[in-house]
Amino acid sequence: MSQATHSALIEDLLAGKHRALARAITKIENRSPGYRDLVSELHSHTGNATVVGITGSPGAGKSTLVDKLAKQYRDQGDTVGIIAVDPSSPYTGGAVLGDRIRMASNVGDMDVFFRSMSARGQLGGLSTATADAVKALDAFGKDRIIIETVGAGQNEIDIVKTADTVVVLVQPGSGDDVQMLKAGILEIGDIFVVNKADMSGATKTVADLEEMIHMRGDPMAGLDTGHHGFEIPEHPDSPDGDDDEDRWEPPVLKTVATHNEGITEFRGALEKHYTHLKTTGGLQANARIRYAEEIRQHLRSDAARLLESEIEAAGGIDRLADQVADRRTDPYTIADELLQPLTECVENRLDS
């Protein structure tokens, strides 16, 4: 892409042209040449959208809930961007569910931009491309951005790095889902929703979740419940950790998204959490944490690419592995040798 074309794409995106937004996200998702410059130039135009992440196991009704929430946002005059992070195809790397029709209530509404993206091997997690796509939607001027991810356990914690508010969706009677929350998702939820609440078991599921949330706020409460080794970390909404007034108590809501029941209360809870973040300074604190991790991720990724070049220059990873297998050297020595040029470069900059 020429510089003129690149500049025109950014200009059109910032002018609110949906075709330019779609092209930019495609460029970002494919990691096409120049995508980093694109995201860098868009960054100064971000920071105005509210970002909601919705996760949960398959079958919990995430897509329907997102659809109804988006409709309510539109009814109040907000523009909406939706990114659905789907499981990656093992053959193409593309989104397996990308061609499904999920936004039935908002079909034909140009102010609801829907994009299905591949998780690119990070099943259940957000790829870096997804975080960059959120920036494109934000810079475009979308008021609300909703990220819907596949539910696959521990990796869902990645959503914290991108969303202001994290919603965990559970369906009634899903004992396995509630148990799964203990493995890592419990800590990241700001709001818990029991969808399909007209099914049997909804009341018990709500009670189970409320008990677990209480344990999250009071780790000592779980000492006699069999949660051996389960350390409950400080929640990111409370930067200081000690001020109870600044601590957010995640609500557990009931919805029946297919019948549009409980959606207004759900939207109200989202607004309440966002207000809480603004008034307590959590919004800025979470953003700093998010950007710090993003910088680290880029450094890890870029350093890995540089080291791949060093590996090839040394004859390839198979040759190095053969040397270790033949006991001519060891993995630590190999790593030190490969890192030496990078180490010397960093040391020289520190000394200068």
Question: In the CATH hierarchy, which top-level class contains the domain 46-280?
Answer: alpha beta
Domain ranges of the chain: 46-280, 298-351
Q: How far apart are CA 197 and CA 199, in angstroms?
A: 5
* Buried residues in 197-227 as b, exposed as e (16+ CB within 10 A): beeebbeebbebbeebbebbeeeeebeeeee
Q: How far apart are CA 117 and CA 102, in angstroms?
A: 14
Closest CA relative to residue 73, chosen from 21, 102, 109: 109
Contact assessment for residue 167 and residue 53, using Cβ atoms and an 8 Å cutoff:
yes
Phi, psi at 148, each rounded to 5°: -110, 125
Q: How far apart are CA 344 and CA 164, in angstroms?
A: 40
Closest CA relative to residue 174, chosen from 149, 206, 143: 206
Q: How far apart are CA 137 and CA 16, in angstroms?
A: 10
Alpha helices by DSSP H, 15-141: 18-30, 35-43, 62-75, 128-140
How long is the chain? Answer: 352
Model pLDDT, residue 325: 97
User: Which helix (H) or strand (E) segment is 268 a member of?
Assistant: helix 263-280
- Which of the 8 DSSP states describes residue 246? G
DSSP structure string for 174-226: -HHHHHHIIIIIGGG-SEEEE-STTSTTHHHHHHHHHHHHHHHH-GGGGTTTT
Phi, psi at 144, each rounded to 5°: -125, 135
Q: What is the pLDDT along the chain (352 residues), one digit of tens a residue?
A: 688 889 999 999 999 999 999 999 999 988 899 999 999 999 999 999 999 999 887 788 899 999 999 999 999 999 999 998 876 544 445 444 443 455 566 666 789 999 988 755 554 435 688 899 999 999 999 999 999 987 655 556 676 678 999 999 988 876 655 665 655 677 788 999 999 999 988 998 898 888 888 877 665 554 443 333 333 344 555 444 455 667 899 999 999 999 999 999 999 999 999 999 999 999 999 999 889 988 998 898 889 889 999 999 999 999 999 999 999 999 999 999 999 988 998 898 888 7
Inter-CA distances, 182 with 53, 186, 189, 208, Å? 19, 6, 11, 11
User: Which helix (H) or strand (E) segment is 117 a member of?
Assistant: strand 112-118
Model pLDDT, residue 157: 65
Q: How far apart are CA 2 and CA 8, in angstroms?
A: 10
- Please state whether the predicted TM-score (pTM) of the whole model is above 0.95: no
Fill in the amino acid letter for 71: K
DSSP structure string for 290-310: HHHHHHHHHHHHHHHHHHHHH
